[in-house]
Chain A
Amino acid sequence: MSAVIWVHADALSRRHPVFTAAPDDARVIYIWDADDLARRNWSLKRCVFVLECLAEMDVEILQGRTANVLKSLEADRIFTASTLDPASLKAIDELGDIVTVVQPDPFVTVPDGTDMGRFFRYWNKAKRSAMQPTSEGP
């Protein structure tokens, strides 16, 4: 079994639970997708900030289009942190069953159906769990 942890720009931390969900011997990669960066039009300082985060993470940086690089790995399983980035979501969708998307620890719990139309309607439901330390749980 070859397992890969695909690190992306929304989760630049070895403390993310994706690292405990994946096997210890999983290959850890980040994909530097120049076309995607051009689409985002990130400035030099944003690129440098991300590279500095990666420098602390002991991760292989691979260059190329995200979907192509992921396919080229020929991995049996790919683990990645959850993201809302449309391009990453598309790549995850294309991976199919071999991908496991790992959620971070939740910040708050709010009841299903909570009115999200304005912040304070959400906050009134979220406040109690937001003010609890993580170790105590919401």
Chain B
Amino acid sequence: MAISSNIRRGPIRLTPDMDRAAIAALARTLSPHLRDDDRYVSETRGGRAEANVRLAAIDPVAYGRTRNHLDGAVTQLSSFITHGVVSLPDVRDRVLGAVDDPAEAQKMVQQLAWRDYWQRLYRSLGAGIWDDLEPYKTGFEPSDYADDLPDDIKNAQTGVAAMDHFISELLTTGWMHNHARLYLASYICHFRRIKWQAGARFFLTHLLDGDPASNNLSWQWVASTFSHKPYYFNLDNLQRFAGDNVDTAYHRNKLLSGSYEDLHLRLFPNLPPIVPQPNKAKT
């Protein structure tokens, strides 16, 4: 019986000085569901000490100026916020304390508010967070979308260099810039026509900050089941924000290339051929 087996196994106590290899080995012992080929440990170490380093490095002014760029001054505090290592008020107070004029902090505080907003919605939605909140506005029905992720996406072998870069980053580090998440989610939903739920499950497996509220509702925003229109992008936009670390060369990202008008026709052929005004990334 489970109760007696719990008692026999006895408690485990960890100490802050345990090395990461020992913790990874323990994680494997404790978690039989882990596959042998799941071998990555993030460069981000858990715990308050690491969170404090990131809190001290917050630069709200640089964040407000560069946050949409994949090499911008983002905090990478999200994993610590999701797991309650630091709280939203902790971060807000640090942000406000780092500026002379509160207006300089507003962009960053607003991003913190997104998490609060998602959590409030999750409180009322419960398990319904896995359902389409609204119909797709793509000209397609849910049944037009594939149920599962194909292996080329799971293994970062899509042949679209930038998307493979983002997937590799997800698999190896457990973190992606929010703008990269939107690009990849858009690629999966609209360029590959796969249900957002399949992508959301993939992200929740790997993102250190994965929680159903922020994750699923952001996916629904991209898919258009929680927004007025689908979020999509083209290679020009990606090249503008990707920085130097992502391969955005045309001949290795041809699928993403085209004007918004062309992409609209290609991705959403059942919609009238209007001149689209794509959603802006909310990073």
Q: Which residues of A contact B (CB under 8 A)?
A: 9-13, 15-16, 29, 32, 34, 37-38, 40-56, 58-65, 68-69, 71-72, 81, 84, 86, 104-108, 116, 119, 122-123, 126-127, 130-131, 133-135
Contact = CB atoms under 8 A, between A and B. Distances in A.
B38 A84 contact: no
Interface string B85-96: 111111011001
A55 B38 CA distance: 22
A69 B113 contact: no
A4 B175 CA distance: 33
Contact of B41 (A45, A63, A64, A71): A45
Instruction: List 9 tightest A-B contacts by C-beta distance, closest first.
Output: A52-B46, A38-B33, A64-B6, A11-B84, A55-B14, A60-B11, A47-B27, A53-B46, A107-B88
Interface residues of B, number: 79
Contacts of B210: 46
Interface string B110-126: 10111011011111101
B217 to A, nearest CB: 10
B204 A40 contact: yes
A79 B203 CA distance: 31
A40 B200 CA distance: 12
A46 to B, nearest CB: 6
A55 B42 contact: no
Interface in B67-122: 79, 82-90, 92-93, 96-97, 102, 105-106, 109-110, 112-114, 116-117, 119-122
A11 B85 CA distance: 6
A95 to B, nearest CB: 15
Contacts of B124: 116
B272 interface: no
A72 B4 CA distance: 8
B31 interface: yes
B40 A45 contact: yes
Contact of B89 (A32, A81, A105): A105
Contact of A107 (B9, B13, B92, B208): B92
Interface in B1-40: 2-3, 5-7, 9, 11-16, 18, 20, 23-24, 26-28, 30-34, 38-40
B38 A10 contact: no
B275 interface: no
A32 B7 CA distance: 13
A57 B90 CA distance: 18
B205 interface: yes
B165 interface: no
B257 interface: no
B254 interface: no
A58 B121 CA distance: 33
Given A56-B49, A61-B14, A86-B127, A45 B206 contact: yes
Among A16, A52, A54, A135, which residue has the most Cβ atoms of chain B within 10 A? A52
A50 B23 CA distance: 10
